[in-house]
A and B are shown apart, each in its own frame.
Chain A
Amino acid sequence: MTLKDIIAKLDLQVLAGAGNLDQAVSGGYVADLLSCVMTGAQPGHLWFTLQTHLNIVAVASLLGVAAIVVTESAPVPPETIQKAEQEGVVLLSCAEPTFEAIVKLVRAGF
């Protein structure tokens, strides 16, 4: 599945990185503690989080995750969006809580 497929299936809003949506997604990771993400998430993963601090972009960029998905429409500060745009990190917003989003993704055949 590519990011584009997932964005369509989960009805995600693209906050940054609109030019990088053809990537294939290899798996996923869920955490809000960035130290866990740094050791647990893999390149190509979809990373679900409620954390919106600027540092999420640095961590995503460092790891090469396919995209950050901020769930529950948590407000993302403009500096985080700008940084993601600069770094080419795909930043997505999801209205649903993480659990529901992942259930939906699995039902869609992920």
Chain B
Amino acid sequence: MIPPLIVDMALFKGLQLIAVTDHNTTGNVAAVMQAAQGTGLTVLPGMELQTREEVDLLCLFDTLEQAADWQAQVDRALLPLVNDSEHFGPQFLVDAEGEFVAEEPRMLQMASLFTLEEAVAAVHALGGLAIPAHIDRPSKGLLRVLGLWPPNLQVSAAEVSPNLRPSQARQRYPALPPVPLITASDAHCLDMIGQVLTVFVLAGPPSIAELRLALADAGDRRAYVP
């Protein structure tokens, strides 16, 4: 997926806000943000961090500086393994036009050393938003890996996979706490972009603060899955 096509597809699907959340890396975020400049599409920098327990956690930020700070912390928490591109696929870094820049040599498809709770606290300390990803998914979904919602986990939202609507998730997992549930496409190829979405009704330009307020139903803001 090259940045201009991601932006075109998102706009074609009528999206106004996307986040780029590659696995354990923010390496391609800047290119997508740059490709979206002047198009009306907002791109939030982010990452899908894999925690020590093998739970995927979406980490969203406002700025590339925050994302870089986060990446530096993650770099120290990655196991020193080299990616075998024959088995796991090549990990390309590209520019805003989608031209090859470099290949990421480290193994990104692996758990980091952060525990889930440590990662949430670190993302919050940077001003970011931490959202457990696809919590119902058999692989790396919080409820499947950890069985139950962890008692000490404080997050603004949790994401259910595209297979499930939030109302179905509440029926299937009646012990879920009253944390807001969102959905997102988890798009790994262009035609998955926008397959499911969450509507955020905001009171200003999209930002982490506005998203957090929308998840808390503050003022006239809302977040819902249509």
**Which A residues contact B (CB, under 8 angstroms)?**
32-35, 37-38, 51, 53-55, 58-59, 77, 79
Asked if A34 and B151 make an inter-chain contact with CB atoms under 8 angstroms apart, the answer reads no
Bound Cα distance A59, B145 (Å) = 12
Q: Does B120 contact A (CB under 8 A)?
A: no
Residue numbers in A under 8 Å from B144 (CB-CB): 33, 35
Asked if B148 and A53 make an inter-chain contact with CB atoms under 8 angstroms apart, the answer reads no
Asked if B143 and A53 make an inter-chain contact with CB atoms under 8 angstroms apart, the answer reads no
Asked if A55 and B147 make an inter-chain contact with CB atoms under 8 angstroms apart, the answer reads yes
Asked if A77 and B115 make an inter-chain contact with CB atoms under 8 angstroms apart, the answer reads yes
B178-220 residues with Cβ-Cβ distance < 8 A to A are none
Residue numbers in A under 8 Å from B143 (CB-CB): 35
User: Assuming A53-B150, A77-B115, what are 20 further A-B pairs, CB within 8 angstroms?
Assistant: A32-B145, A33-B147, A34-B145, A34-B147, A34-B148, A35-B143, A37-B147, A38-B147, A51-B53, A51-B145, A53-B53, A53-B116, A53-B146, A54-B151, A54-B152, A55-B146, A55-B147, A58-B151, A59-B147, A79-B152
Residue numbers in B under 8 Å from A35 (CB-CB): 138, 143-145, 147
* CB of A57, distance to nearest CB on chain B (Å): 10
Asked if A54 and B150 make an inter-chain contact with CB atoms under 8 angstroms apart, the answer reads yes
- Judged by DSSP, the binding face of A is helix
Instruction: Name 13 interchain pairs, CB-CB below 8 A, sorted by A.
Output: A34-B145, A34-B148, A35-B138, A37-B147, A53-B115, A53-B146, A53-B150, A54-B152, A55-B147, A55-B148, A58-B148, A77-B115, A79-B152
B58-116 residues with Cβ-Cβ distance < 8 A to A are 115-116
Which one of B145, B148, B150 contacts A33 once the chains associate, using CB atoms below 8 Å?
Answer: B145
B122-146 residues with Cβ-Cβ distance < 8 A to A are 138, 143-146
Bound Cα distance A32, B150 (Å) = 16
Residue numbers in A under 8 Å from B150 (CB-CB): 53-55
Residue numbers in B under 8 Å from A55 (CB-CB): 146-148, 150
Q: Closest B-chain residue to A59, C-beta based?
A: B147
Residue numbers in B under 8 Å from A59 (CB-CB): 147-148
Residue numbers in B under 8 Å from A58 (CB-CB): 147-148, 151
